[in-house]
Each structure stands twice: as structure tokens, then as C-alpha cells.
Amino acid sequence: MSSLGPGFGVPDDLADIAREHPALADALAHPLDRRRTLKLLAAALATGGLEGCDPGHTSRRLVSAVVAPTGIVPGEPDHYATAHVHDGYANGIVVTQMMGRPTKVEGNPLHPASLGATDALGQAAVLDFYDPDRSQGPTQNGTPVAWQQVNTMLAALRTRLAQTNGAGFRLLTGTVTSPTLAAAIDRVLARYPAARWHQWQPISRDAVRQGSALAYGRPVDCVPRLDRADVILAIDSDLLSSAPGHLAFARAFASRRNPTRTRMNRLYAVEPTPTLTGIGADHRFIATPAQLDGIVTALAGALLHGAPPTDPPPWLPHIIDDLRAHPGHALIHIGPDQPAESHALVHAMNEALGARGATFDVLESVAHAPVDHAESMAALVSDMAAGRIETMLILDVNAVYGFPEFAASTF
């Protein structure tokens, strides 16, 4: 067994990986032998086990509330509706709690994005309520402080920002789709016009947004209607696993998979790695990341210009014929890891297939003031390095962990 480092294998191994999987090649380029890998793995398992033995309370006791909140009935479960937000997009959930202690998370059947379903992240959210590292209140330099002190500091900050119109103030968030949060941000920026708002997600959907802007002239959201599609082609697609609204998409897709109730749809998946979409496909084809660009180009040539593909994979002409045979009932979907140009070509192909208004709808972007996250973060880091920032407010973004340049900068 070769090591993942200087002895990785033949000299061409890393060159081949760099061509097919550029991100993976960067990780493998760092020397790491087998013995050190096993040591790190054993340490991670050991520390994880020790953490699981900690009840999370220094007194080793659970203390009931002295004054129970209104509506709490001892021994009776209660439910409340809320939302689980992932990458800025919300799924409606219902949390079951017993005397103020959450015990179960389920989907909200009245929420259009979940329709009563949850994904693995939503189910695991209940563990966050009992995380011993969960903040119990405001702190300053790791030391707990009273809310009165926080309010005093905020009052002083407002006075200082009013004198400078917000110069030197930066707000950093992820994608914002909440109308309430969006309105609050707009009010802050209106009051302090010299302040700047930056957006960043560790795994962004920049290519999706840029591709729609290339196709339609502005960033828009395309919502698939899988219950209306007879033929679906998924290209490296996250349609049923992690795309915004994927829980509703999965239900719509499943509604066409029972031959005793309706005519079944047909799903083709072309992907470099297994996905839930590929698992549910009638026909799944493996293609390397380097091959996907050529496949999208060949599809576009055939569907937009009638040009037969040159030296295509043996299965590609069959997919093209099937899509052509179902105008108004076909849909192509491509995942966020593919470049913006590929997304724009997919939009053009869907339009040529008569899919808009049938198997997908075009909506104004639900993200508030969408921007290019990479450019926004680069501008923020540049201002930090130049000393143009005095105060920064970060909302639900761990930039120190996910963006090394941010962690290395100071202001």
C-alpha cells in the first residue's frame, strides 16, 4: 500500500489527479505517510469518545426550572414551529419538547420547502440544543458579561457610527433569504451609508447565480417541477440531496415513481461521484469532472443547433433522442459545482425544450441583494489588510475556520 505523499506511486499519479480532480490534488500534494494518518485517525476517535462521556454540566446534575415557562404542562409534550436554516435557505420544522427540553425534530407539513420532511442535518439539529459549547450568553474575550454591559457598548458604537456615517463598519453574513433579517440589514445600511455589507458561504452557489445571470440578464431562481417532467437529465446534480428546496423536489419526484398511480418518469444521472439523485436514477452514467464540460457542450450542440455530437459516449445519443421526444415534458438540471457557462447552456437547452412554465418556473432571486461571494470576501480581506475597518459584525458565519486569508488578516 503506497503512502499519500512522496511515495504516492508513479510520478504521473498526481498529474492525472490534478487533471481530473483539481481540488483533491491539492490535498494529496501535502506529504502525509500512512503511519501519521493512522495516528491522527486514532486521536480523533479517542477525543470524540471522551467528549461523548461528558454530560456537559460541571455539577453533573440536571436542574429543573424554578419557574416554568407559560404553557408548560409537566409530563406532556409540546410542539412549536420554527425553521432549520442551511446555507441561507430555510426548511420548516416542528420541534417536540418536554418541559422545555427539545427531544425531536420533524418537518413542518405546512411549509412549502419541507412538506413534512426533514433531511439528515435537520434531524441532527436537536443535538445542537445540548451542545456543551453552545453559548449561554454574551462574552467578552471569553469572559461572560451582563446584557446591560452589552447595551452600553452598543450605545457607544451607535454614537461613534453616527459621527462617521458608518465608515469603518463592516457586516459579514452568509446568504440572506429571511425578509426580517433583510429588512434589518437595509435599515442599518440606510442609517450608516458609509458602512459595507459582505456575504460569504464556505460552499457557495456563485456558479448557479452567475449562470442564470448569463442566461436571463439578472440573477434568478429556477424552480423545477419534477411532478410534471417525464424525462429528467441530472448532470452532477444536487437536485434531491442538497439544493435549496430539495425536500419538496424529492417528494415531487417520488410522486411519479409509482406505476400503479401514474405514468412513471425517467431519470438519467451523469456524475463523477455517487449522489442521492444518482441512486434514484433509472440510468446512471459515470463521467469524470474533465468529461462533464464536453458532455454539456455536446448536448448543447445537439439540442440547440441540431449538430450530432462528435465521438460521444455510447449512451449520450439515446439521452438526446429521449429529451427531443418529450418537448414541454423534459428537464435538465446541473449541480452547483459546474461552471457558470455550463449553467447558462443548461438554461438555454431547457428553453429550447419548452420547459419553462412546464417543468420549471423562473422566479426573482429569493436571496436578498445577491453578490459574488468570492469577490465580496476578497474585498473584505483587502479592507482588513489596509486597515480600513474599525468594527465588524459577523452573523452566523465562521470565516476564521473556513477562509484562511480572513484568519491571517487583522484590523
The residues with which 394 forms a beta bridge, in sequence order, are 172
* Residue whose grid cell is 445540548: 130
Query: From CA 186, how far away is CA 188, in angstroms rounded?
Result: 5
> Based on the domain organization, do 228 and 339 belong to the same domain?
yes
Distance CA 200, CA 185 (A): 15
Q: pLDDT value at position 141? A: 86
Residues 212 and 305 in one domain: no
2 lies in a domain?
A: no
Q: What is the CATH number of the domain that holds 399?
A: 3.40.50
Distance CA 176, CA 193 (A): 20
Q: What is the pLDDT of residue 197?
A: 97
Q: How many domains does the chain have?
A: 4
pLDDT value of position 262 = 86
Residue 61 inside a domain? The answer is no
What is residue 131's predicted lDDT score, i.e. its pLDDT?
84
Shared domain for 227 and 326, answered yes or no, is: yes
One-letter-per-residue 3-state SS of the chain: CCCECCCCCCCHHHHHHHHHCHHHHHHHCCCECHHHHHHHHHHHHHHHHHHHCCCCCCCCCCCCCCCCCCCCCCCCEEEEEEEEEECCEEEEEEEEEECCEEEEEEECCCCCCCCCCCCHHHHHHHHHCCCCCCCCCCEECCEECCHHHHHHHHHHHHHHHHHHCCCCEEEEECCCCCHHHHHHHHHHHHHCCCCEEEECCCCCCHHHHHHHHHHHCCCEEEEECHHHCCEEEEECCCCCCCCCCHHHHHHHHHCCCCCCCCCCCEEEEEECCCCHHHHCCCEEEECCHHHHHHHHHHHHHHHHHCCCCCCCCCCHHHHHHHHHCCCCCEEEEECCCCCHHHHHHHHHHHHHCCCECCCEEEEECCCCCCCCHHHHHHHHHHHHHHCCCCEEEECCCCHHHHCHHHHHCCC
pLDDT of residue 49: 55
Question: 284 and 261 in one domain?
Answer: yes
**Are residue 255 and residue 335 in the same domain, yes or no?**
yes
Residues 325 and 391 grouped into a single domain: no
Do 227 and 288 lie in one domain? The reply is: yes
Identify the CATH number of the domain in which residue 104 sits: 2.20.25.90
Q: Identify whether 159 is part of a domain.
A: no
Q: Is residue 140 part of a domain?
A: no
Residues 351 and 238 in one domain: yes
Same domain, 322 and 338: yes
pLDDT in tens, the chain (411 residues): 333 444 434 445 666 666 666 656 655 665 556 676 676 667 666 655 544 454 444 554 555 566 766 777 777 888 889 999 988 899 999 999 887 788 899 999 999 999 999 998 999 888 888 888 888 889 888 889 999 999 999 999 999 999 999 999 999 999 999 999 999 999 999 999 999 999 999 888 999 999 999 999 999 999 999 999 999 999 999 899 899 999 999 999 999 998 888 889 999 999 999 999 999 999 999 999 889 999 999 999 999 999 998 889 999 999 999 999 999 999 999 999 999 999 999 999 999 999 999 999 999 999 999 999 999 999 999 999 999 999 999 998 989 888 888 888 766
Same domain, yes or no, for 268 and 174?
no
pLDDT reported for residue 128: 85
Residues 308 and 350 in one domain: yes
Asked if residue 398 belongs to a domain, the reply is yes
Which pLDDT belongs to residue 74? 77
- Per the structure, the complete domain to which residue 411 belongs is given by 165-219+365-411
Domain identity same for 235 and 198: no
Full strand arrangement of the beta sheet holding 330-334? 283-286, 266-271, 231-235, 330-334
Are residues 202 and 337 in contact, defined by beta-carbon separation less than 8 angstroms?
no
Residue 153 lies in a domain: no
CATH at 283: 3.40.228.10
- Which pLDDT score is estimated for 405? 86
The whole-number pLDDT of residue 359 equals: 97
